[in-house]
Amino acid sequence: MPALAGKVTIVTGASSDKGIGNAIAHCYAREGASVYLVAEGTVEQLEAVQRACRAYPNAGRIEYGVHDLALRGEAERMVEQAAARFGRIDVLVNNAGIRVPVAFGEYSRDDFDRVVSVNLAAPFFASQAVLPIMRRQGGGRIIHIASQLGRVTYAKRALYGLTKAALVHLTKSMAYELGREGILVNAISPGPINTGFAMERTARDPAETERRIRSYVPAGRMGEPEEIAEVALFLATTQSAFLQGEDICVDGGYTSH
């Protein structure tokens, strides 16, 4: 029996071909889940992910919705539409995130508002919106994708790191309040991962990228989106039933020194 057979999942930030959300959607579909794919990208991008996920023999229903989670009320509308289509929601993965890489002192109010809206407000309100559904079902799983930069700092990441650190705190607060209702809340903090953004940077100067990675990642390499997806799969299954309020850092040892 596939690990997620019969489960309905929402994965935000799922349209990027080399992204973590895309990898999680594929992993869940492969393990039998129905998946509501969410992104602010184009319909064409989401349809491509939908086709790929539907190709797995065990996949449940694969649907998608275009949602700009920076907009007030959009996170709640996303949950409402998913529930209307599938009738239940077992797993919510708050993966969508953005960054504005500028030096501290140069952020605009618009930068602040948009990054906070997508990285923190959207997971907050999506999680609140899904609670009545999970309560009726007798439980569920909420997984926040945070970042190792919620623990350590890096140049031009002050705002991004701020939202990810807050997301980890939100994870613990939610877990403390909701655990007795069978709603398990955990976070994953990826380290340097070979997403599309990172691959573009590597292509510009492969030698320098390899030098930097080897200097600060004990594993000596970048991680792959699929390695984050495997942790997200574990957190979505019954195998992790006693894991609550944790932030699992998957970073190749980045934060160990």
For residues 188-217, b (16+ Cβ closer than 10 Å) or e, as one string? bbbbbbbbeebeeebeeeeeebeeebeebb
- The crossing angle, in degrees rounded to 10, of helices 20-30 and 225-236 is 50
Query: What string of DSSP letters covers 35-61?
Result: EEEEESS-HHHHHHHHHHHHTSTT---
Q: How many CA atoms lie within 13 A of 123 on its CB side?
A: 30
CA separation for the pair 125, 75 (Å, rounded): 6
Residue closest to 192 by CA, chosen among 214, 210, 217: 217
Eight-state DSSP code of residue 205 = -
Place of tokens 């309100």: 125
Question: Catalytic residue among 160, 176, 216, 254, which?
Answer: 160
160 is catalytic: yes
If residue 14 lies in a helix (H) or strand (E), which one and from where to where?
none
Catalytic residue annotation:
160
